[in-house]
Amino acid sequence: MFLNRRDFLGGAVAVGSVLALPRLALGDDTASSKQARAKPKRTLVMLHLNGGNDGLNTVIPYKNPRYRVLRPSLAIAPNQVRKVSKDLGFHPGLQGFEALFKRERLAVINGVGYPQPSYSHFRSTEVWFTAQPEKTPTYGWLGRALDATETNAPLRAVALQKEQPLSFASARPGAVTMTDFGRFRVPSGMEKASKLYERYGKLTGQRADVGKAGTQALKVARKIASLKPAGGQFYGGLGNDLRKVLALLKADLGLEAIQLQMGGYDTHSNQAASHQRLLSQLGNNLNQFQAELDKAGLGESVVTVVMSEFGRRAKENLSGGTDHGSAGPVFVLGKGVKPGFHGAYPSLDDLDRDNFKYTTDFRRLYASLLSGAFRMDPTPILGAHKPLELFA
């Protein structure tokens, strides 16, 4: 049974003007909950490359002659490609991804997209964040997953941004947004409530449950407010955010999902230099991030997913850039991930108005994350989409 305590605990944890209310799960120790404890969940770290990353110049079919026909000025020279298979390689800026690939910490899912793709940033992001392309969405795919599983944890998901991402939208509380640990503070008025929670916690029945939940929520808030970004050789805005993610993970808060974003990928013009800079920051920071996770003993308990709302068109435009496209690669990092390439690379010869035809439905990726990381049946959340074999 789930007890809604908005009236009891409103305002327990503050992040600026955002409130996270403690959750309370009551009931018998079911077989499913025992199974979940036998196979601990992994924390999902979702990184959105905002703007639409150019997948063709990220994972490059360097032996395909059609690639240079489509990209006469933007094609990466074969001797610059970071070759990781007999016909595919990474952009030269992705030194970090090459290192992750060789350490067997990186899975590359080719041609990820969805039917009848939208080329609008807003609509395509909405599709990716809700996994409901056929309807007007209400809740996010991660929000629905969290709603479907009960827990006593007061805080389950964190977004490192000012506004809650649609992916976290849910019927119940448990997700917050933040940009700075110092601003995640307990409201002054809640200090008096803290004593009330402590008294309730010593009683029995629902008042005891509320008291314990409130005390735990305030404890989590104080712990987060005291955190400092982790160390490590990170750089740029993405590096600063990853240092915060590391601090949250090392604090052992029981978080199930963390979301962050990296902007700049809407490369309509002068793409070569900006894409080099973006991918260098992406690859090097994530390589360092995974190394820090491994060093902290968190390598198998964290899965990092790198996605974008769409790719770019196969054919370059007249401004030295690429326009909004459809399918593109998704990257999944972690110690328990099956490394290598998954799914077919989209055809460069069979295009749809200069756009790639997707080969992997993104809901199959999400299904594999829910089953392999969250240890849950993805069908009620996503429908009948067969999970990819992403986890050992």
Q: What is the mean pLDDT of the chain?
A: 87
Cβ atoms within 10 Å of 58's Cβ, excluding its own:
28
Residue 202 CA to residue 200 CA, distance in Å, equals: 5
Helix 271-295 to helix 236-250 angle (10° resolution) is 20
Domains of the chain (ranges plus CATH)? 34-187+228-382 (3.40.720)
Residue 349 CA to residue 67 CA, distance in Å, equals: 10
Residue 312 CA to residue 96 CA, distance in Å, equals: 22
Higher per-residue confidence, 64 vs 137:
64
pTM assigned to the model: 0.89
List, as one string, the DSSP characters of 321-358.
Answer: S--B-S-EEEEEE-TTB--EEESPPPPSSS-BTTBPPP
Are residues 35 and 247 in contact, defined by beta-carbon separation less than 8 angstroms?
A: no
Residue 40 CA to residue 50 CA, distance in Å, equals: 31
What tens digit of pLDDT does each residue of 209-238 get? 666 777 777 778 888 889 999 999 999 999
Secondary structure of residue 79 in the 3-state scheme: coil
Q: What's the rounded mean pLDDT across residues 332-352?
A: 96
User: For 83-97, 210-224, 296-310, 351-365, which range has the lowest pLDDT when averaged over its residues?
Assistant: 210-224
Secondary structure of residue 109 in the 3-state scheme: strand
Question: Cβ-count burial of 90 within 10 angstroms (0-12 exposed, 13-18 middle, 19+ buried)?
Answer: buried
pLDDT score, position 174? 83
**Phi and psi dihedrals of 297, rounded to 5?**
75, 20
pLDDT at 10 over 70: no
